[in-house]
Amino acid sequence: MNRGLIIIPVLLFNPGLIQTGFAFEWDEDMRDQPSIKAQESQVNTNSGSVPQSGKETILPPADMSELVQARLSAGDLENPIAKSGESLNRGKVVYDIHCATCHGAQGHGDGKVGKKYVPDPMNLTIDYVQLQPDGQLFYTISHGSIAMPYYRDVIPIADRWHIVNYIKYVLSKPGTGNKP
């Protein structure tokens, strides 16, 4: 029997062989596309693109001195999310997902992942944190700090404000924190 006659039925009844055997030049588009790694800078978007939800109120800082200045300026930001049971519950959910691993369940900076860092994560129950304006805490969550990574690309704006409410109104209560 002719060898060509055997190959034709095999290719017709097993299309997987055709896909793996004959790759097209566009098959590697996903591999060759520009991508952002975790904790890298913000992606430059097309000016015609539409944000999915809201727009950042403060742009990322260029360097550490700009970070400190911007954090102080952010103290003027008003928290658009009123303190409510719903906000505090949402804040706890998001805090437990993104913050508790470093800052701990009670906010003392004793989370399992945080114990591996030098310096230790900030104790969120101390006066230094609790007396900061809501906008400063929002800015720190959004743009990070000296050792803390930023979460502006991971946590939606409204959820960051819910975390601020949770830090200010739950972690500050006696029995949950305020221990240096």
- Answer whether residue 102 shows pLDDT above 90: yes
DSSP letter at 108? S
Distances (CA, A) of 74 to 24, 39, 41, 179: 51, 22, 20, 26
pLDDT band with cut points at 50, 70 and 90 for residue 68? confident
Superfamily of domain 64-169 in CATH is: Cytochrome c-like domain (1.10.760.10)
Q: Smallest Cα–Cα separation from 44: which of 34, 54, 52? A: 34
pLDDT tens profile 8-45: 666 566 655 555 555 556 566 666 666 666 666 666 66
Contact by Cβ (8 Å): 86, 92 = no
- Answer whether residue 50 shows pLDDT above 70: no
Predicted structure pTM score? 0.67
Q: Smallest Cα–Cα separation from 168: which of 12, 176, 7? A: 176
For residue 157, the model assigns a pLDDT of 93
Domain ranges for the chain, please list them: 3-29, 64-169
Let me know the angle formed at the C-alpha of 70 by 67 and 76, rounded to the nearest 5 degrees: 150
CA distance 109 to 103: 4
Contact by Cβ (8 Å): 107, 167 = yes
